[in-house]
Structure 1
Amino acid sequence: MQRAPFFRVHPVLAAGLLLPGVAQSGITVYEDGARFLEVGGRVQVQYNYTDPDNGDSTDSLDIRRAWLTFDGSVTEDWEARLQFQLDGGYSTKDAKIQYTGWEFATVTAGNFYVPFSREELTSSKRQQLIEKTPVAGTGSPARQIGVSLSGGTDTYNWQAGLWEAGVASNTGTISFGSQIDNAQAYEGKLVGGRVEIHPGGNIGYGQGNLGGTSGWEIGLNGFVWSNDDDRVASAISDYDSINGFGIDGAWRHGGWSVDAEANAFTAETLSGSFSGGIVENGDADVLTTSIEGGYMIVPRTWEVVGGLGTEEADAWDETETQAGIGFNRFINGHNNKLQVSLVRTTDANGVNGADVTDLYVQLQHAF
């Protein structure tokens, strides 16, 4: 069950919101007028077999995710979400408040997604391939602490805001991390936004076409991050600035689905002479792309999927490529499903011949 009072009060704006509404959990444990409490979660049990071309194969059976989510309110026009990760050590995911009392926009404050990268904004429980492609990793700010405004109509939606975003000390990539769990070495101000146009129908963030609907949409997003010297490791390899721009789209028809995305990043380190990882003479230029698709060979039950993702850095000798195929067995929609994915990565991290094959098998229960 999904309960979102805001959706009933503002149906047009609700249909166009970029971020999922706060109240999205599965079980209503209390409801009395504007007061409510909902509880949801997901558990993903995953087997992974890794076979590198130049090394020994390994395998593991792990709890990939064990998340618990609480949505609630005690007054009209205000809602809150708390989401916790319980696997592999406790951490906080979403911790946000939303004010929905304005006709023209919704205010969101707390720790939540920066609106960048369609695949990053897509829940892990609604992925076609089990693991996400490089477009949802390198350069994506993911969740950060900040404030944003969002709104829209039945044909477009938008979101823009300001975040205090942390960055990890790793010039082998561009890796953001939220300060809510101290998952960063230094931080800075990030201004970002996203505009999404869906004249062909708002299909939302969820890969595949389980319901057999039709529609298409295009999204543009970008951000500017600047080291504000509040918390700096003071290493010459620390990033001084990071800029990102992305374009993505999605199409659904019958049992078919396609999601595509391309993101470009430019970054500078504190020292203009530093080279290492993706940085060359103080500059990093990275391009990530992906295309994923699938077909429901048996409506609402069996889906075959495939995807191709790339990551290219000017400082690398080669382009990293990931190609994957798989199938999904929907036992009860996304609530209960079995997934199998086979992924081949070539020239990992831009190293010629660093190739590896991964087999993933995952069982999911979400509520």
Structure 2
Amino acid sequence: MSLTKCLSMVAGAAVSFGVLGVANAEAVSNTNTDEVRAIVAEMLADADTRSSFLQSGGTAGHDGKKFFLASSGGDFSLSIGGQLQFRYLVNFGDDLGGQADEDWEGGFQTRRTKLWFTGTVFNEFDYMVKWEFNRNGGGAGLQDAWVSTPIMEGWDMKWGQFKAPFMREELVSSTSQLAVDRSHMNEVFNQDYSQGIELSYSQDDWNLALMFSDGFGSDNTDYATDRGLGTVGTAGGIGGESDYAFTGRFQYKFAGDWSQFEDFTSASGSNWAWMLGAALHYEGGDSEGNSFGGGDYNYLSWTADLSFEGDGWNAFIAGVGGYTDFEDIGGVSTADADFDDYGVVVQGGIMIPDTNWEIFGRYDAVFPDSDRAGDDTFNVITAGVNYYMHGHAAKFSADFQWFIDDPADTSIASPSTGIGFLGDSDEDEFGLRLQFQLLF
């Protein structure tokens, strides 16, 4: 091939690639321009939507406690909230958690991770949906799912899944406890979540709540899910529905504002306040669906409490009793048995003057029926401090627990990693809890 032909071919190829390059550049340029125009149009439309929302009187932002969206006039609203509790725990004892020669255990725990939505619809219905992410595995579980509305002056109705109006320690949010967590006594007797309907009445100085439900601990249960043995009262276990359950709680405020009793602490400069509360619960049914061959059960429980708050100090005392009755439960030692169990908690705290530090102490105990296999009293002492950076919204807490007795001698003792109680093979288990809480 001659040099002339070679040069002609190279020149032709160069011209061809040049033309293709220009064409591709123009295509890319056109494509990029179209994409940019689409993004800009989308941003302008979004901004216009936001502007229209605000121009129509809608509001959005953070009210110091939670993020919110609200229509003009507040007929419709949506608030988003959350809770993070992160802990470091250390326990000392003998054979902790049933593990031979395990005398020390320490580690971190994401105790509570919660997300919730609250708001109003038609300025008539209030609602709440709340999830908690399990500390062991991270799975989301439904806690609150309810709707409420006023039905006449002073009267409100609420239905869905929420806590029955029973023990005050359980009704006070986990965001607003005095110690790092609720007492061991509360773990034994508390109502947990229920599915049902509540009717409440409020006056300036007193209120009353009445609930018809599927029973204590009946959250996230389907219709016609029978209870089994060990899922009612203080017999241990959770799950299933009772055939019927009734709960009532009465509160009388002798001094102060109701808002003061939304937590247990009392900031320096607070006014004097005190309140009396009492509640009664009854549930029952049969356990035909369980593996023990059926049988009947009844559970009757009562509680009473006194709450005091002053200028930088607080005190709380509560007692609870539970009567559990099993009849004709086949194949087990409690086939025909009844038990009367009791519990008590006393706690108090005081702010250190001119600081954000609070010192607190607590004693609680459970007293099993003498007919139980393990009928010894189980005592717990707790002491610690809180540092309020921004109230309960950003708070550091530390406490030390002394589980005085051997849990093996108390049938209703309830070891739980949630409260930092592992259970050991002897007396005197000790636990240290360090926690930071953030609310948003």
Shorter-chain TM range is 0.7 to 0.9
Q: Which residue of 1 aligns with 2:103?
A: 56
Q: Which residue of 2 aligns with 1:97?
A: 147
Report the CA distance between 1:168 and its aligned residue: 6.7
- Cα separation, partners in 2 of 1:349 and 1:235, compared to 1, 3 Å: farther
Q: Quick check: which one's strand share is greater? A: 1
Which runs of 5 or more structure 2 residues have no equivalent in the other structure?
1-63, 96-101, 219-226, 411-425
Provide the rounded CA distance (Å) in 2 between the counterparts of 1:239 and 1:290. 31
1:259 aligns with 2:316: yes
- Cα separation, partners in 2 of 1:261 and 1:79, compared to 1, 3 Å: same
Provide the rounded CA distance (Å) in 1 between the counterparts of 2:341 and 2:293. 20
Runs (4+) off by over 4 Å? 236-239, 272-276
Please give the TM-score of this superposition, normalised by the length of structure 1: 0.84
Alignment length (residue pairs): 337
Letter in 2 for 1:151: Y
CA RMSD of aligned residues (A): 2.7
Report the CA distance between 1:233 and its aligned residue: 1.2
- Cα separation, partners in 2 of 1:69 and 1:238, compared to 1, 3 Å: farther
Provide the rounded CA distance (Å) in 2 between the counterparts of 1:109 and 1:252. 32
- Cα separation, partners in 2 of 1:147 and 1:175, compared to 1, 3 Å: farther
Letter in 1 for 2:279: N
Post-superposition Cα deviations, 1:135-162, rounded to whole Å, max 9, x if no partner, equal 4222322210000111121111110010
Of 29, 32, 57 in structure 1, the residue corresponding to residue 69 of structure 2 is 29
Please give the TM-score of this superposition, normalised by the length of structure 2: 0.71
1:319 aligns with 2:377: yes
Letter in 2 for 1:111: Q
Tell me which of the two structures has the higher relative contact order, counting C-alpha pairs closer than 8 angstroms and 6 or more residues apart. 1
CA contact (8 A) 2:326 2:338 kept: yes
Provide the rounded CA distance (Å) in 1 between the counterparts of 2:248 and 2:112. 28
- Cα separation, partners in 2 of 1:134 and 1:169, compared to 1, 3 Å: farther
Of 62, 68, 73 in structure 1, the residue corresponding to residue 120 of structure 2 is 73
Report the CA distance between 1:134 and its aligned residue: 3.0
Q: Quick check: which one's helix share is greater? A: 2
Provide the rounded CA distance (Å) in 2 between the counterparts of 1:94 and 1:347. 35
Letter in 1 for 2:322: F
Of 321, 343, 356 in structure 2, the residue corresponding to residue 288 of structure 1 is 343
Which runs of 5 or more structure 1 residues have no equivalent in the other structure?
1-23, 178-182
Provide the rounded CA distance (Å) in 1 between the counterparts of 2:383 and 2:232. 27
Provide the rounded CA distance (Å) in 1 between the counterparts of 2:312 and 2:294. 48
Question: Kindly, what percent of the aligned residue pairs are identical?
Answer: 21
Q: Which has the larger radius of gyration?
A: 2
Q: Which moved more, 1:58-67 or 1:347-356?
A: 347-356
Provide the rounded CA distance (Å) in 2 between the counterparts of 1:359 and 1:111. 34
Of 330, 346, 355 in structure 1, the residue corresponding to residue 428 of structure 2 is 355
1:115 aligns with 2:188: no
Post-superposition Cα deviations, 1:58-77, rounded to whole Å, max 9, x if no partner, equal 11201100000101222022
Provide the rounded CA distance (Å) in 1 between the counterparts of 2:171 and 2:331. 33
Q: What SS does structure 2 have at the residue aligned with 1:198? A: strand
- Cα separation, partners in 2 of 1:91 and 1:50, compared to 1, 3 Å: same
